Amino acid sequence: MKNERTWRWEHFLIGGLAGVVIALGLWTLGNLGASESSAQAATPAPVAASTVAWEDRITPDLVSKSGLSVADEVNVANAPDMPPPITRSEQRIVEVHFDVVENVAAIDPATGVEFETWGYKIAGDDTPVIGTPGPVIRARVGDVFRFTVTNPASNTHPHNVDFHAVTGQGGGAEATVVAPGETATIEARLLYPGVFMYHCAFGDVPEHIAHGMYGGIVVDPEEPLPPADKEFYVVQSEYYTDSVEEGLTELDRDALLNEHPSMVVFNGYKGALTENPLAMNVGERARFYFVNAGIDLDSNFHPIGSHWDAVWQEGATYSPPIRGSQTTLVPAGGGVVADIVGYVPSRIILVDHALTRAFYKGAIGFLDVAGNPNPEIFEAIEAP
């Protein structure tokens, strides 16, 4: 894959090596001089390294906010759906309005475990009842993200949003604090492409995240990723309940302090992706925009019975992907973009491969691949 970006990356490496050689030479000369005269000559000149760093600035040239129009594409969706990839090549203003959700929801519908869930929903959209994970936002690098959050007067707690995609105080947290009945708006330039977490960062932040206040924002790169046939938004997260029995449970503060969740789930509740499996066809490429909301555990995201054909590690889509891996490590508060190619009809089982979490705590989902068998790739052989 010798595309332009790869070459630039190689130039960076070559430039960096040259810089090290030059710096070492200067340092040696300086030291020789220092033995005779001043300490000034012993300081290596930071020429090569800083030059390379500036030339390889990866943030886009910005068009002034005053010259931008409002984007007219779909920029939000509820899990596991993704808004379509952004096809325009100009910067725009992306407007998104969330309402804060405070509710009681079943976080294990099969056994009737309930919990007080807090989260976010698209303003005016009454389909989500649980609010967690929050909707996924999609924009393009260089866009101005004009975000409004409303905390309905019927709620009890103040909240806000820290976007890992936003450059500014607290990722916008300080400027988006809303008590019940309040609304706040920020405008933030999206400087880096990737898949990023957002979460409430008000007050006792772990408590707010433990109640479900998180989601993902995808910032498409200037040079689009190769196309995928299906795209999915999946968020891993943890619950710290004082019980896993039927009925309303409470937050277990000891478990939270000890980083010992009672549940680890995909898309907000146990069974979200097993009761409603994801689907693709043989011959297709499926792309996961995956966020690990934590709070505390790293995720070891693995597709049982398949591979990650491409992985943009840490969700950093400016950089080239690695190809053909098994389990991708997604830190708490991080994300990844990972592709699966459908080769044979099967049920691919998505797990956190710290398998206690998958088998006992809920970190499991299904991706059903439909199509014709291909015995050149897989077949079960009858015993003679």
Query: Could you list the residues that contact Cu ion (CB under 5 A)?
Result: 159, 200, 202, 208, 213
Output 200 or 286, the one with its CB closest to Cu ion: 200
Output 239 or 308, the one with its CB closest to Cu ion: 239
Output 200 or 234, the one with its CB closest to Cu ion: 200
89 closest CA partner among 20, 31, 135, 141: 141
Output 202 or 232, the one with its CB closest to Cu ion: 202
Q: With beta carbons less than 8 A apart as the criterion, state whether 339 and 286 touch.
A: yes
Output 200 or 210, the one with its CB closest to Cu ion: 200
Residue 10 burial by CB count (10 A; 0-12/13-18/19+): exposed, middle or buried? exposed
Q: With beta carbons less than 8 A apart as the criterion, state whether 330 and 363 touch.
A: no
To Cu ion, the closest distance from the beta carbon of 164 in angstroms equals: 16
The beta strand positions in 151-298, using DSSP E, are 162-163, 183-189, 194-199, 214-220, 230-239, 247-248, 263-266, 278-281, 285-294
Output 39 or 153, the one with its CB closest to Cu ion: 153
Output 211 or 270, the one with its CB closest to Cu ion: 211
CA distance 197 to 207: 17
Question: What's the token pair of residue 159?
Answer: 């909240």
CA distance 257 to 284: 43
Q: Mapping DSSP to helix (H, G, I), strand (E, B) and coil, where does residue 50 land?
A: helix
To Cu ion, the closest distance from the beta carbon of 208 in angstroms equals: 4
158 closest CA partner among 128, 179, 134: 179
What is the DSSP pairing of strand 308-312 with strand 194-199? unpaired
Dmax (CA) of the chain: 87
Angle between helices 47-55 and 4-34 (to 10 degrees): 160
Question: What's the token pair of residue 93?
Answer: 């203003």
Output 211 or 302, the one with its CB closest to Cu ion: 211
To Cu ion, the closest distance from the beta carbon of 211 in angstroms equals: 7
Q: With beta carbons less than 8 A apart as the criterion, state whether 351 and 363 touch.
A: yes
Output 160 or 241, the one with its CB closest to Cu ion: 160
To Cu ion, the closest distance from the beta carbon of 177 in angstroms equals: 9
To Cu ion, the closest distance from the beta carbon of 205 in angstroms equals: 8
To Cu ion, the closest distance from the beta carbon of 117 in angstroms equals: 11
CA distance 309 to 338: 7
* Residue 253 CA neighbour count, 13 Å, CB half: 3
To Cu ion, the closest distance from the beta carbon of 118 in angstroms equals: 6
To Cu ion, the closest distance from the beta carbon of 203 in angstroms equals: 7
CA distance 51 to 54: 5
To Cu ion, the closest distance from the beta carbon of 356 in angstroms equals: 29
To Cu ion, the closest distance from the beta carbon of 179 in angstroms equals: 11
Output 92 or 208, the one with its CB closest to Cu ion: 208
Q: What is the DSSP string of 304-317?
A: ETS-EEEEEGGG-T
